[in-house]
Chains A and B, each alone.
Chain A
Amino acid sequence: MTKKIRELPQEEYILPGTRSCAACGLMLTYRHALKALAQKKVLITVPASCMTVLHGVYPITPVKVHCINNPFAATGASSSGIVAGLRVTGKQNYKVVAFAGDGGTYDIGIQALSGALERGADFMYVCYDNEGYMNTGTQRSSASPAGMITTTTPVRTKLQQKKDMIRIVEAHNISYIATASPAYPLDLYDKFVVARDMYGPRYLEVHAPCPPGWGFSNKDMVKIGRMAVECGIHVLFEIKEGHLRLTSRSLRLGEKGTRKPIREYLSMQSRFRKITEPQIQELQELTNRRWESFLTRHDEQA
């Protein structure tokens, strides 16, 4: 386990001059993920998304690892084809890692992802969840939380709860599932190292705060990421062979039982400025129920 930030590899794999927004949660995620991944030969696959933009405009890229872009719906299938192609041509020492947003995972890419997980494709799939179609300007996705203003739910806010993607992924019985946050880079780094060295399908979901889409100032990106964990709306855990274990700050919150109310987290972001009292209540109850179920599963393992 990495204990101090200075223990992380010094090498940077993303050079200055990316096209991502200031204080992008994905950007910080990718920075620490690559410190783990690029120690091995790695091939990143990316659907149409914020990540496409981050990777730069032809013929220049600020990222020091290989990347293959693929169409929006195709990430799981493209990745498994690449894995098969590498194997038959004797290049199986490459790690294939897909990075897709929540739209590319929860919505348009779910079929290809499900297929790849079910077939046991030997790859890592990372969903960076910024809770909407941020690359096209904050439209509603099935990962957007209830009560969020998006450009396609501008008046009434999103009325439905966020899809529980982890449960869908878990139903495929894969060997490794983990959540992470760029606000907890050591935990994130460690999980990418663990997943990197495993075989078969591995799924990681990273909560990626988005300043322009969520409505908070750039300087607060890490603070928002932390608050999401503090209130339990995003929970840090890993599921190895079906066994769930809370990690990092979520583990300590589980031990102390000092979660913050979600109201505090919601009030920090203008995307929730129209959320109603009943919506807050419902979201709090849902958060509590999810938290309790994770805690129970964690305790069963302990």
Chain B
Amino acid sequence: MSRGITKILTANEAAATAAGLCRVQVIAAYPITPQTPVTEELASMVEKGELDAEYLTVESEHSAMAAVIGASQVGARAFTATSANGLLYMHEMLHWAAGSRVPLVMVCVNRGVGAPWTILNDQQDSISQRDTGWIQLYCRNSQEVMDTTIQAYKIAEKSLLPVMVCYDGFVLSHASTPVEVPPQALVDKYLPPRTEVFRIFEDGPCNLNPLILSDPRADANGELQPGYMDLRYRLHSDLLSSEEVIRASDEEFLELFGRTWGGALWLYLMDNADHAIVSMGSLASECTIAAETLRTMGYRVGVVGLRSYRPFPAKELGSALAHASGVTVMEKDVSYGYEGAVAVDLKGALFNEGLRPKLHSHVAGLGGRDIMPDEIVEVVRRDMATGPLVSWVNARL
């Protein structure tokens, strides 16, 4: 089996290359740092004729999302990319995409949000879109960005849900590393063209996303059709079920491409660990280095890397953390007025699983503030002793 060729790529180049390999048909995007190279790379592929797609140079992110939703509604495989305030500007359309059940893929190159302006990395942008009905997958490195973007179309088109592939701005987006680019034929095998039949092209009028009442209502044949809340439940339950689709898509990917990213989450040095670090994205990668150091120092520490933030793999997290007496959550976001969003969600999940480890919520790396593996080692050592339940690491307090 041909496994493709290795190139030196940034995560942005990996995402654009993956979108091309997925044969996306419509791209609409608006430039924003640090996402810009994704849009440039794709525009170049389209203009050179390497990718048979329509590229819409829209006048805003709101319009970018509106355009790819429209394209997807009539059957095209569509792609967009954004960051930070661009993602926030899309907020209305993110809800609209999920409600429309369009299988879009968007990469979010994570960046802190203004005001005040920062162009540097944290994950506040995508975390703030938690409740829009999108699947959110976080990547550790450029290879995972490449592979997750390909998997994302599989997941999106199976679940009829939009997928956001998130990776850290500059830390990954502008860092060049070796990435294996899979051969087109293999991607084609993994990801056949979109096949759903759209009612919009059948005989008889179709009114997509019309006004809907609260209660079920009879159609022209007297059959009862769902009300608003019933459709919301379908969206919610399909998002929950997509956890299995994420896992299956990763397993199928492993068979064809020889790589796995763990489905909804991944474990590192978790055998016999009695303290776990939970994190997402490139910060989770750093946590693995910290865990290695801690192991050499005699601490039984492992890492649980969260790949899927929504759906939140609550049960799997429960199993992974069943024997941990302490948990350190490291994350690049905060739910203002409370704690880190992942820590809060994790506490809820563990409560439902009947687990009560000592859980420490740490906010780190906002707006590009450095956080080094050695510093994570110190945070974990403090947590394992009498460390604070909530802290802002490396912040000038």
Contact = CB atoms under 8 A, between A and B. Distances in A.
Contacts of B66: 70-71, 74, 77-78, 81, 112
Interface string A83-109: 011111101000000000000000000
Given A43-B200, A82-B70, A84-B54, A89 B25 contact: yes
A100 B219 CA distance: 27
Nearest to B208: A68
A69 B63 contact: no
Nearest to B25: A88
Contacts of A73: 62, 92
Nearest to A85: B71
B96 interface: yes
Q: Identify the interface centre among B58, B205, B206, B212: most chain A CB within 10 Å of its CB.
A: B205
A114 interface: yes
Given A57-B210, A66-B205, A77 B96 contact: no
B67 A77 contact: yes
A52 B206 CA distance: 13
Given A59-B219, A85-B73, A89-B76, A67 B25 contact: no
B225 interface: yes
Interface string B24-41: 011010000000000000
Interface string B204-238: 01111111110001111000010000000000000
A63 B68 CA distance: 26
A52 B56 contact: no
A69 B217 CA distance: 19
B271 interface: no
B63 A77 contact: yes
Q: Identify the interface centre among A53, A74, A79: most chain B CB within 10 Å of its CB.
A: A74
Contact of A89 (B56, B74, B210, B220): B74
A59 B217 contact: yes
Interface string B71-82: 111111010000
Contacts of B52: 88
A115 B201 CA distance: 27
Interface residues of B, number: 45
Nearest to A114: B59
Contact of B70 (A52, A63, A67, A81): A81
B69 interface: yes
Contacts of A84: 26, 28, 54, 56, 67, 70-71, 76
A57 to B, nearest CB: 5
Given A68-B200, A79-B70, A85-B75, A52 B59 contact: no
B212 A81 contact: no
A119 interface: yes
A67 B205 contact: yes
B246 interface: no
B26 A81 contact: yes
Nearest to B74: A85
B211 A111 contact: no
A61 B210 contact: yes
A165 interface: no
A58 B52 CA distance: 37
A66 B200 contact: yes
A81 B53 contact: no
Contact of A81 (B71, B200, B225): B71
B137 interface: no
A78 B70 contact: yes
A21 to B, nearest CB: 16
Contacts of B69: 70, 78, 81
B208 A69 contact: yes
Contact of B207 (A67, A112, A119): A67
Contacts of B206: 66-67
Nearest to B225: A59
A65 interface: yes
B290 interface: no
B63 A88 contact: no
Nearest to A115: B59
Contacts of B200: 43, 66, 68
A299 B212 CA distance: 51
A272 B384 CA distance: 75
B93 interface: yes
Given A59-B219, A63-B207, A70-B70, A89 B75 contact: yes
B216 to A, nearest CB: 9
A67 B200 CA distance: 8
B54 A87 contact: yes
Contacts of A118: 59
Given A85-B25, A85-B76, A57 B70 contact: no
Q: Identify the interface centre among A67, A68, A91: most chain B CB within 10 Å of its CB.
A: A68
Q: Identify the interface centre among A45, A76, A82, A112: most chain B CB within 10 Å of its CB.
A: A82
B335 interface: no
A203 to B, nearest CB: 17
The 5 closest A-B pairs by CB, nearest first: A81-B70, A81-B67, A85-B71, A77-B63, A115-B59
Interface of B: 25-26, 28, 52-54, 56-60, 62-64, 66-76, 78, 92-93, 96, 200-201, 205-213, 217-220, 225
Interface of A: 43, 45, 52-53, 55-61, 63-71, 73-74, 76-82, 84-89, 91, 111-112, 114-115, 118-119
Given A43-B74, A89-B74, 16 more contacts: A58-B213, A61-B205, A61-B207, A64-B205, A68-B200, A70-B69, A70-B96, A73-B62, A74-B93, A77-B62, A77-B67, A80-B56, A81-B68, A88-B54, A89-B25, A115-B59
16 contacts: A58-B212, A59-B219, A61-B205, A61-B210, A66-B208, A70-B209, A71-B96, A73-B62, A74-B93, A77-B28, A79-B70, A81-B56, A84-B70, A85-B73, A88-B52, A91-B201
